[in-house]
Chain A
């Protein structure tokens, strides 16, 4: 496990964001790099892969709109983006649950996402991702996505999720054990 204190501060992206904010350079590179990182975090948050590009684009639009208000003194650019993404992912999750409740109220089973190419759907990576993220609670998923996959510091994750840094570490430890047990169980089959 990486020691949070030893993590790179990641000031490069923040510095670039400040430059874009001040109009010193074009933001194409910044958004491209941010998009790649956000996609990974969104997947780890349990967002369905087909919805990830839309949610990430939504986050980038929100970040682009509010970039003039970004203050590097209050945290890194990555943490700022991650906080927006966590909010969007929560909304998405709530929307999905609401839709399922509505369908259940009308006595219909959820049709789920639209039918897609079976070969595409059945990729092992997607199944593994869905299985592992489903094994975690909502809070664990957020902490794992930001702390383990997104490589944010415990303080940044704590700010994004509204908890303490110690709580983040504790939840991350539980989630690691849970995932390790699941992996061992799958390997044992």
Chain B
């Protein structure tokens, strides 16, 4: 038995497969990022994501669109009924109610109305 028959066959297979491998067009001129740089990049990315999330939270819509067919609204503040003030939109179409407006309606400071929600009553709203 030829002892090198298997090795020769392996070498031939290696050469044939190696000839089919894609050749990288670019030699390794640049070094890969070092570990410290990689950590710094990851930390920067996390910080940027956190900042973007905070800005998105700050810029969340604080105004509620009231459908145009609603004529009468009243407010609930922090889950409780506000004073029974009634507000009627002056013009037709969608009306935006901002916290500032809501505070004017219910006569409370703006800080307490930031969580105001618009409740749309069916009927029987006190005028």
Q: Let me know if A49 and B21 touch, CB within 8 A.
A: yes
Q: Within 8 Å of chain B (Cβ to Cβ): is A159? A: no
From DSSP, what is the main secondary structure of chain A's interface residues?
A: helix
Interface size class of B (residues with CB under 8 A): 20 to 34
Contacts of B29 in A (CB 8 A): 27, 64
Contacting residue for B1 out of A28, A44, A57, A184, CB 8 A? A184
Q: Let me know if A39 and B4 touch, CB within 8 A.
A: no
Contacts of A129 in B (CB 8 A): 10, 13-14, 17
Q: Let me know if A125 and B10 touch, CB within 8 A.
A: no
Contacts of B6 in A (CB 8 A): 132, 176, 178-183
> Can you spell out 21 A-B residue pairs with CB atoms less than 8 angstroms apart?
A27-B29, A31-B27, A32-B27, A53-B22, A64-B29, A65-B31, A65-B32, A123-B16, A125-B20, A128-B13, A132-B10, A132-B13, A148-B11, A176-B3, A176-B7, A179-B5, A179-B7, A180-B1, A180-B2, A180-B6, A184-B1
Extra contacts besides A123-B20, A132-B13, A148-B10 (14): CB < 8 Å? A31-B28, A43-B13, A44-B10, A44-B14, A52-B21, A53-B24, A61-B32, A64-B28, A123-B17, A125-B17, A129-B13, A148-B11, A176-B4, A183-B9
Chain A residues in the interface with B (C-beta under 8 A): 1, 27-28, 31-32, 35-36, 39-40, 43-44, 49, 52-53, 57, 60-61, 63-65, 123, 125-126, 128-129, 132-133, 144, 148-149, 176-184
